[in-house]
Amino acid sequence: MSYQVGKNGKPKRGVSLYSYSGEYGVTMNLEDMFVEMQDMGAKGLEILANTHIEGYPNPSDEWLENWDRLLKKYDIVPVEYGHWVDSRLYQGRELTSEESYKMLVRDFKLANRLGFTILRTKLGVIDDDLTPVENWREFIKMALPMAEKYNVRICPEIHAPTLLKSKTVEDYVEFIEQTGTKYFGLNIDFGVFETQPLPASEWGPNDFIMPKCEHSPVEDIIPLLPYVYCCHAKFLMMSNDFQELTIPYEKIINTLIEHNWDGYMLSEYEGPKKDVTGYTSEQLRKHHVMMKRILGE
């Protein structure tokens, strides 16, 4: 089974179930989301372990059987497993490397059982620039042999306000080059390429609005592509003529095509009205119309 980074073919389409977080458990269940993915021909799946696995971190046998059934029935590829190393798990101190390692391995095993080969590993941060915890190298290094054993690639998500040309990303790349590992890489969230913010008037009173920050030019992704196992196709608003209003999608996807990057772009809707029944579904469909057109599918 390929783990989605190669030099032949084009980017592939998928969905992060995070998109449906305003409806999950209220108006939609896991199977409903799979039905929508099948409708859109979006085969690649991202789940959030702590959200979409009932009984996490110990799902029942019945739940696991149903999982296997749903993947088969809707022809879904488990791509990325979102999980967290909650460094501030206990108030007043940070997790030790040993505790962080144990948290990682618990998720490696579950991700492997569910068929995932890439992990979106959210690390704890220590400042406003999202610098990861100081001991990340230590516990990631400890975990690499287990990542290999369970065939999963640990990928921190590079998310605004982090820039692609930044100390954080340089440190990750240096770690990959020094260790020579194939089991640690990057997930790039397309929000890093935002060219204009969504007008404040579009947001609801309870929405979290990203503070203003600097963004990266699209070409900054090119030198990183060998390490990028997966992307979050972040979007905030699709117009009725199938354009995304804040992120330069055409340029991003064409850059990926030109460099033969063939991983999954997982749609991640993070705009307003997520809790309005059917709104996210419509936004996702428009997003996939746009991506299909740019991909020439």
Between 195 and 276, name the residue whose CB sits nearer to other proteins. Answer: 276
- Give the pair of three-digit tokens for residue 40: 């859109």
In the residue annotation, 232 being an active-site residue is answered as no
The per-residue DSSP string of 27-82 comes to TB-HHHHHHHHHHHT--EEEEEHHHHSTTTTS--HHHHHHHHHHHHHHT-EEEEEE
Asked if 176 touches other proteins (CB under 8 A), the answer is no
Asked if 84 touches other proteins (CB under 8 A), the answer is yes
Please report how close the Cβ of residue 28 comes to other proteins at its closest, in angstroms.
9
Which residue reads 């696995």 in tokens? 53
Distances in Å between the Cα of 48 and the Cα atoms of 33, 45, 52, 121, 128 are: 13, 10, 6, 10, 24
Please pick, from the candidates 1, 206, 212, 241, the single residue that binds other proteins as defined by CB under 8 A.
206
Please pick, from the candidates 125, 144, 146, 245, the single residue that binds other proteins as defined by CB under 8 A.
125
Please pick, from the candidates 15, 48, 152, 236, the single residue that binds other proteins as defined by CB under 8 A.
48
Please pick, among 52, 159, 215, 232, the residue that the annotation labels catalytic: 159
Please report how close the Cβ of residue 243 comes to other proteins at its closest, in angstroms.
26
Report which of 39, 31, 52 is spatially closest to residue 281, judged by C-alpha positions.
39
Apex 75 CA angle, 72 and 77, nearest 5? 100
Please pick, from the candidates 8, 61, 72, 91, the single residue that binds other proteins as defined by CB under 8 A.
91
Binding region for other proteins (CB under 8 A): 18, 21, 24-27, 29, 48, 50-51, 54-57, 84-91, 122-128, 130, 206, 208, 275
